[in-house]
Amino acid sequence: MSTAGKDIRGFILEQVQAVARQQKKTLAPLSDGLPLLESGLDSLCIAIIVANLDDELGLDPFASGAVDMPVTLGDFIRLYEHGVAA
């Protein structure tokens, strides 16, 4: 597993698109400022992405229970990047 933040960002964006395809959701144009709830993903999609990231990257930033729920896609990505940096 690479620790480069760019790889994690790329991996997460791939996951977002793959899960949206699989769940037949239409995605809004992705940007860091995009609120997750307006991205076209529902909470089931986000739950699937979180589980996949845990399986593929071994990262579960929510495990500590002390994280704020991410509001935007950028918040979500940073949660994982910080997990690696820590």
**Out of 52, 74, 75, 84, the residue judged to bind other proteins by CB under 8 A:** 52
Q: Quick one: 4 or 63, whose CB is closer to other proteins? A: 63
Residue-wise DSSP of 28-47: PPP-TTSBGGGTT--HHHHH
Question: Is residue 55 involved in binding other proteins (CB under 8 A)?
Answer: yes
Tokens of 70: 């991410």
Q: Which of 2, 51, 71, 82 binds other proteins (CB under 8 A)?
A: 51
Taking CA 32 as the corner, what is the angle to CA 26 and CA 34, rounded to the nearest 5 degrees?
45
Kindly tell me which residue out of 2, 17, 23, 31 binds other proteins, with binding defined by CB under 8 A. 23
